[in-house]
């Protein structure tokens, strides 16, 4: 047996699946298919009063065996909830009494969502009441649905009145070139990575099913003509990465932002602090002059360092609400964390030890550089292990292929740079390994929190192992804080970084405190409501349902009428342009 076959036999004996090599020649000949071209429900409303079911699409949207389902540790998601801002949101307890559109409620059921997560319990009524929102909640706590559900529900009943033009693509005479329209989305969702955009798009496809609302997804790497084709069929909910979105906004015959009612920034702290400030200003300003006073702005993330919060508030209306589940930046208690001391040159062997000494499971390995990712991938591949890899220099086709194979378990080991650190929601990731810890000057401890949050999602438990050595000293105090907070063992080499009190210490000021003595802060936070306890499935503190028996005919009683609640465009937008 040659060395390769021997390695393969060993890996398989240990339970790892067969490694597969990509045949790039064959692939080059096949027409690529992009995640952004995935089928959406198409209904123009001309065909009758009731949107018909589409069994095969339903199967694809809701019955995908690889889709994440809630785990049994779901109740661990309930944590104390903090609110700040001039209005106090009364949380809702159940989807059924949240005043949601009946069609949306059906879609929520098809998704298999039974109980709300804490963040959903607050953002759903807040959006329905028409407030700008900054929402902070742990990784894997359903933030995507927390913004999509209320927004889509609000629009479902009004789609016909509000939506832009669209061709009848179900008509036999439909000609995609001749009948193309300029897209006028009602909702724009922006996020930092292409993979995350695909994921949000998929959630939007599920929630818009059997409605007039048509989601479209645009991100870099996919030929522009594919985006143009999809936008040309009409677009109500646009999910995009910032670069591609700004490219499209510069082509006003293809995309107009004038009808946008909701602008949502996911992974907002990253977007505010990444290299996207120009794009973000452009997007938040609505490009071609969206002068709609009813326009709502929302920002979501699991981490929100004070500086990002200051920036975020510049975009918010006066009556914005800030909702925080647990501490901003706290990591998930459902993730068991180990930090082990490993010198740089011992890392390959240490990784191999883990992969060969433990039960095989879907494993995500973070390495900091592109070059490092490829090296680790090569090394493991030679050891017979089924690996694939992700980094920003791979072609879009390769990125989609790698994610697909990891998702389906064809290659259960994914080596990636930080680009897979945020937002990615893949079922059954059992183990996250920080082969390299994030650097203090890079994403720092917040990036650590996001990375380990790829496991232990929505009521599942997971593991994270991090290789630490003297190079990571800048991260040590933050790491110790997280370990203390989540009651994880502190290894001896991290003992010197423990705070004197022996307790986790976080600088987690309220927005009011941030304002004090801070000349550049512009946020209004007038009242704060600390520590509203959201306890488990049964009772939400002193909460009452916001509306009566799911009566869609009326919005929750706190809302004056069916009209859009006027929210003056945040002053900061003009100031920033």
- Residue of 379, 489, 395, 393 lying closest to 435 (CA atoms): 379
Whole-angstrom CA distances from 412 to 43, 293, 359, 553 are 38, 48, 12, 48
Q: Is 145 in the site for ligand ADP (CB under 6 A)?
A: yes
When binding is defined by CB under 6 A, the residue of 83, 123, 141, 163 that contacts ligand ADP is 141
Stretch that binds ligand ADP, among 110-118, 172-180, 356-364, 469-477 (CB under 6 A): 110-118
Give the nearer residue to ligand ADP in terms of CB position, either 140 or 185: 140
Q: Is 117 in the site for ligand ADP (CB under 6 A)?
A: yes
Q: What residues numbered 410-439 form the site for ligand ADP, per CB under 6 A?
A: 425
Q: What is the DSSP string of 350-362?
A: HHHHHHHHS---E
Q: How many CB atoms lie within 10 A of CB 215?
A: 27
Q: Is 331 in the site for ligand ADP (CB under 6 A)?
A: no
What's 396-425 look like in SS3? Answer: HHHHHHHHHHHHHCCCCEEEECHHHCCCCC
Give the nearer residue to ligand ADP in terms of CB position, either 71 or 234: 71
Give the nearer residue to Mg ion in terms of CB position, either 423 or 438: 423
Residue 178 backbone phi and psi in degrees, to 5: -70, -40
- Residue of 167, 208, 162 lying closest to 189 (CA atoms): 208
Stretch that binds Mg ion, among 69-77, 135-143, 305-313, 472-480 (CB under 5 A): 135-143
Answer yes or no: are the C-beta atoms of 323 and 135 closer than 8 Å: yes
Number of residues binding to Mg ion, judged by CB under 5 A = 2
Number of residues binding to ligand ADP, judged by CB under 6 A = 18
Q: What residues numbered 365-424 form the site for Mg ion, per CB under 5 A?
A: 423
What whole-number distance in Å separates Cα of residue 511 and Cα of residue 328?
12
What whole-number distance in Å separates Cα of residue 258 and Cα of residue 192?
23
Give the per-residue contact string, 444-473, with ligand ADP (x = CB under 6 A; - = no). Answer: -------------xx---------------
Q: Is 144 in the site for ligand ADP (CB under 6 A)?
A: yes
Stretch that binds ligand ADP, among 46-54, 132-140, 359-367, 411-419 (CB under 6 A): 132-140
Q: Is 299 in the site for ligand ADP (CB under 6 A)?
A: no
Q: How many CB atoms lie within 10 A of CB 320?
A: 28
User: 481 contacts which partner out of ligand ADP, Mg ion, none, CB within 5 to 8 A by kind?
Assistant: none
Stretch that binds ligand ADP, among 141-149, 171-179, 429-437, 552-560 (CB under 6 A): 141-149
The distance of closest approach from Cβ of residue 467 to Mg ion in the complex, given in angstroms and rounded to an integer, is 26
When binding is defined by CB under 6 A, the residue of 104, 116, 445, 452 that contacts ligand ADP is 116
What whole-number distance in Å separates Cα of residue 426 and Cα of residue 432?
12
Q: Which residue sits closest to ligand ADP, CB atoms considered?
A: 142
Give the nearer residue to Mg ion in terms of CB position, either 111 or 317: 111
The distance of closest approach from Cβ of residue 182 to ligand ADP in the complex, given in angstroms and rounded to an integer, is 30
Give the per-residue contact string, 500-539, with ligand ADP (x = CB under 6 A; - = no). Answer: ----------------------------------------
User: 458 contacts which partner out of ligand ADP, Mg ion, none, CB within 5 to 8 A by kind?
Assistant: ligand ADP
Structure tokens at 119: 């963040």
When binding is defined by CB under 5 A, the residue of 143, 194, 383, 460 that contacts Mg ion is 143
The distance of closest approach from Cβ of residue 511 to Mg ion in the complex, given in angstroms and rounded to an integer, is 22
Give the nearer residue to ligand ADP in terms of CB position, either 409 or 477: 409
The distance of closest approach from Cβ of residue 67 to ligand ADP in the complex, given in angstroms and rounded to an integer, is 7
The distance of closest approach from Cβ of residue 119 to Mg ion in the complex, given in angstroms and rounded to an integer, is 10
Q: What is the DSSP string of 301-361?
A: ES---HHHHHHHHTTS-TT-EEEEESSTTPPPTTEEEEEEE--GGGHHHHHHHHHHHS---
Answer yes or no: are the C-beta atoms of 273 and 422 closer than 8 Å: no
Give the nearer residue to ligand ADP in terms of CB position, either 188 or 570: 188
Give the nearer residue to Mg ion in terms of CB position, either 202 or 488: 202
Q: What residues numbered 229-258 form the site for ligand ADP, per CB under 6 A?
A: none
Q: What value, to the nearest 5°, has the Cα angle with vertex 206 and ends 110 and 67?
A: 75
The distance of closest approach from Cβ of residue 131 to ligand ADP in the complex, given in angstroms and rounded to an integer, is 20
User: 198 contacts which partner out of ligand ADP, Mg ion, none, CB within 5 to 8 A by kind?
Assistant: none
What whole-number distance in Å separates Cα of residue 502 and Cα of residue 534?
27
Give the nearer residue to ligand ADP in terms of CB position, either 73 or 224: 73
What is the dihedral sign for C-alpha 411, 227, 301, 392? positive
Q: Is 453 in the site for Mg ion (CB under 5 A)?
A: no
Answer yes or no: are the C-beta atoms of 517 and 63 closer than 8 Å: no
The distance of closest approach from Cβ of residue 432 to Mg ion in the complex, given in angstroms and rounded to an integer, is 16
Give the per-residue contact string, 55-94, with ligand ADP (x = CB under 6 A; - = no). Answer: -------------x-x------------------------
Sheet of 187-190, strand order: 215-218, 237-240, 187-190, 262-266, 296-301, 133-136, 321-325, 80-84, 528-533
Residue 262 backbone phi and psi in degrees, to 5: -135, 125
Q: Is 303 in the site for ligand ADP (CB under 6 A)?
A: no
Give the nearer residue to ligand ADP in terms of CB position, either 142 or 478: 142
Residue 161 backbone phi and psi in degrees, to 5: -75, -40
- Residue of 287, 280, 238, 244 lying closest to 262 (CA atoms): 238
User: 534 contacts which partner out of ligand ADP, Mg ion, none, CB within 5 to 8 A by kind?
Assistant: none
Q: For the stretch 349-378, what's the b/e string if a residue is b when 16 or more beta carbons lie within 10 angstroms of its beta carbon?
A: ebbeebbbeeebbbbbbbbbebebbbebbe
Q: What is the DSSP string of 503-534?
A: S-------HHHHHTT-TT-------EEEEEE-
CA neighbours within 13 Å on the CB side: how many for 65? 2
What whole-number distance in Å separates Cα of residue 97 and Cα of residue 99?
6
The distance of closest approach from Cβ of residue 384 to ligand ADP in the complex, given in angstroms and rounded to an integer, is 32
* Interface residues toward Mg ion, by CB under 5 A: 143, 423
* Interface residues toward ligand ADP, by CB under 6 A: 68, 70, 113, 115-117, 120, 137, 139-145, 425, 457-458
């Amino acid at each position: 047996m040659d060395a390769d076959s021997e390695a393969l036999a060993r890996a398989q004996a240990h339970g790892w699946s067969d490694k597969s090599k990509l045949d790039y020649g064959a692939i080059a000949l096949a027409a690529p298919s992009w995640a952004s071209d995935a089928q959406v429900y198409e209904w123009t409303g001309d065909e009758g009063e009731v949107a018909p079911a589409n069994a095969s699409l339903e199967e694809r949207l809701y019955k995908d065996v690889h889709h994440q389902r809630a785990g049994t540790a779901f109740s661990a998601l309930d944590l104390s909830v903090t609110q700040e801002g001039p209005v106090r949101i009364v949380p809702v307890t159940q989807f059924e009494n949240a005043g949601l559109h009946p069609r949306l409620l059906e879609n929520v059921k098809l998704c298999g969502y039974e109980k709300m997560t804490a963040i959903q319990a607050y953002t759903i009524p807040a959006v329905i009441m028409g407030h700008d929102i900054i929402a902070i909640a742990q990784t894997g706590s359903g933030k995507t649905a927390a913004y999509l559900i209320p927004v889509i529900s609000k629009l479902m009943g009004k789609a016909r009145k509000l939506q832009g033009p669209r061709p009848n693509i179900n008509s036999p005479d439909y000609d995609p070139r001749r009948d193309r329209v300029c897209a006028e989305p009602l909702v724009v969702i922006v996020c930092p990575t292409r993979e995350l955009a695909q994921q949000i798009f998929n959630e939007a496809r599920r929630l818009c099913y059997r409605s007039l609302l048509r989601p479209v997804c645009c991100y870099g790497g996919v030929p522009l003509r594919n985006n143009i084709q999809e936008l040309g069929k009409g677009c109500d909910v646009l999910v995009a990465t910032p670069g591609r979105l700004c490219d499209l906004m510069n082509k006003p015959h293809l995309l107009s932002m004038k009808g946008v009612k909701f602008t949502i920034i996911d992974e907002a702290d990253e977007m505010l602090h990444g290299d996207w400030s120009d794009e973000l200003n452009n997007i938040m300003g609505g490009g071609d002059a969206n002068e709609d006073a009813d326009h709502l702005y929302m920002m979501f993330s699991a981490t929100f360092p004070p500086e990002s919060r200051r920036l975020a508030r510049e975009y918010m209306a006066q009556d914005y609400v800030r909702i925080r589940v647990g501490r901003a930046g706290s990591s998930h208690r459902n993730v068991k964390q180990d930090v082990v001391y490993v010198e740089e040159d011992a890392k390959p062997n240490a990784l191999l030890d883990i992969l060969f000494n433990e039960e095989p499971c879907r494993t995500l390995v973070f390495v900091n550089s592109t070059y490092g990712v490829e090296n680790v991938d090569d090394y493991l591949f030679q050891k017979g292990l089924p690996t694939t890899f992700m980094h920003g220099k791979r072609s879009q086709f390769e990125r989609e292929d790698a994610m697909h194979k990891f998702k389906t378990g064809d290659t259960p080991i994914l080596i990636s740079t930080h680009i897979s650190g945020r937002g990615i929601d893949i079922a059954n990731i059992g183990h996250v390994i920080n082969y390299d810890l994030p650097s203090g000057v890079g994403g720092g401890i917040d990036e650590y929190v996001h990375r380990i949050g790829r496991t232990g999602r929505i009521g599942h438990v997971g593991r994270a192992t991090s290789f630490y050595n003297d190079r990571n000293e800048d991260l040590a105090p933050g790491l110790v804080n997280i370990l203390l907070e989540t009651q994880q063992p502190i290894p001896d080499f991290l003992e010197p970084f423990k705070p004197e009190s022996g307790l986790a210490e976080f600088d987690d000021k309220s927005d009011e405190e941030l304002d004090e003595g801070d000349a550049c802060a512009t946020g209004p936070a007038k009242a704060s409501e600390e520590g509203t306890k959201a306890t488990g499935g049964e009772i939400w503190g002193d909460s009452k349902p916001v509306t009566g028996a799911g009566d869609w005919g009326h919005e929750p009683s706190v809302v004056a009428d069916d009209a859009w609640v006027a929210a003056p465009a945040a002053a900061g937008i003009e100031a920033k342009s």
